[in-house]
Structure 1
Amino acid sequence: MNQRTVAEASRPTRPGPAARRVGSPCDPATGVTRSLLAYGVLAGPTYLLVSLAQALSRDGFDLTRHAWSLLANGAFGWIQITNLVLTGLMTGAFALGLHRVPPAGPGATWAPRLMGAYAVSLVAAGAFRADPALGFPAGTPEVGAPVTWHGTLHFVAGGIGFGCLVAACLILGRRFSTEERRGWAVLSRLTGVLFLAGFVAMAASAGSTWGNLAFTAAVVLAWAWMSAVAAHLYRRTAPGH
């Protein structure tokens, strides 16, 4: 081996594009994916804190009787409308991140699609305001409030979106099960089942306290689940994982 060959062999080589992509903290694709997943972490706390702040401060709103969607009515209804649209967009970003994370396998196709459909339903729920009901806002009759076209579309959007959310929970539960992540599998399936039960309780109870509180608890659980899953996938997408 001559001196030129020895020099070339000892010279540091510059990694190619493929080598730089794998496990690189500066990888643009990984950075985009993690940013999208981060919106999934933030969506739940944003929705819950903004809704709770209004529920505790709006005159006539009763947490035990009124669904949070009713906050879209009244002089300050624009706050809840914005909250629904903003968290819908955040959930849509999470759905895109979810699409970029899992390899081929159970849930790789349908989990992101279902979460995306849920995101669209949130935006639609903000665009089509819920009808006033149960005495809120002030002046609304306790029973017999008129049903409007936008109130009907709000209910339809919510029903479709909630169904997609339940299905996404169950599909991701199956996904985690195949990965032998039993804790995440149980949490995902349990969230889907309990959320469905909470929605049915609210629809069947005709505005009773127990039905409304059951659904409120289910909503809190579902948002907490989404934030936890998004954070879990965010950490898994970090370089070296």
Structure 2
Amino acid sequence: MKILVSVKRVIDSNVAVRVKADRSGIDISNAKMAMNPFDEIAVEEAVRLKEAGVATEVVVVSCGSAQCQETLRQALAIGADRAVLVECHEELQPLAVAKILKALVDREQPQLMFLGKQAIDDDSNQTGQMLAALARLPQATFASKVTIEDGCAQVTREVDGGLETLSVRLPAVITTDLRLNEPRYVTLPNMMKAKKKPLEILTPVELGVEVAPRLTTVCVVEPGKRSAGVKVPDVKALVQALKFEAKVL
């Protein structure tokens, strides 16, 4: 069974995000970049399925600039077998990424597609669902547990009322949540081995995909700073403050 995993290069979650002076977007110059945490979980789950003998090959794919090769090499160091970079310099919105992944699904014919449920830079939570719709495949989102048996994937999801278990027939698209696993630490020897693994570079034109953006960002602004809180001596004073000062009661 072949597994295709999508990974995205994003700003490291520990870095303070800065808005560009012209408010056209986020300033990523000189910012530390990393693999999207949800995608890292997806790679880890695919590699675990391979180690368990369920999968035979894990292919990772990323879309973006040449720097995305670093992210793919990290995925290869975790245990993926080969990588594909769809190199483009245009702004890639979720629909464009889903179209690229659809073209790769047609090309690679995987039995299972893993994606992180969302990217921490735009929090769109759209690409997995769009890919399933374009490829006309069953989907299971926000997976916290995945087991494969008898040509089906049993996927447990956390919902408001508890846990929900779905059974989807393969091939299928699964998006991963934080509770699915804890990614392993990448060792230096594995990073060295990853440099020798195959990494193919394609373009959207070669895949026959149009990636022109359909949405326009009007303005990006930082959230307003919160005012300092105040202490009140008792409940009566709290109610008075909420009623007459905050005017929320």
| TM-score under structure 2 length normalisation | 0.27
| Structure with greater strand share of residues | 2
Larger Rg computed on CA atoms: 1
